[in-house]
Amino acid sequence: MPRTVCGDILKPDVVFFGEAVPPRRVEHCRELVREAASLLVLGSSQTVMSGLRFVRQAARAEKPVLIVNLDPTRGDQHATTRVALPLGTALTVVTDRLGIPGQ
C-alpha cells in the first residue's frame, strides 16, 4: 500500500531570501569570479550581500563589471558600465544585434 505521509519537510535546492548561502557555494562562486575575465550582472538590485560580494570582488581585481538593471543597484559604484533598461528589453537588443532569432 502506498504511503500518504511524507514525514519530513521538502525544500528545493535554492537559497531563499533571508537564508545564508552555503559556504561551499560561496567559495565556488568566488573561484568563478577569480577565473573570469569580466562579470555580467543581469536583473539584480544586489540588495543583499550574497550577490554584491562578487561585484566587489571583480572590481577589486580590476575586472570589467557590466550591470543590466532598470533601477539603480548597490553595485553601481563598482560597475564599469550600467545599462538602465528592463532586462527583457536589454536582452532583446543584444540578441537582435547578434542576429540570434527570437521566439
Would you kindly state where each structural domain of the chain is located, as residue ranges? 23-98
- Count of CA atoms in the C-beta half-sphere (13 A) of 81: 9
pLDDT tens digits for 35-75? 999 999 999 999 888 889 999 999 999 999 999 999 999 99
CATH code matching the domain that covers 23-98, chosen among 3.50.50.60, 3.40.50.620, 3.40.50.1220, 3.10.20.740? 3.40.50.1220
pLDDT tens digits for 25-39? 999 999 999 999 999
Give the helix, strand, coil percentages of the chain, each rounded to 5: 40, 10, 50
Global pTM? 0.80
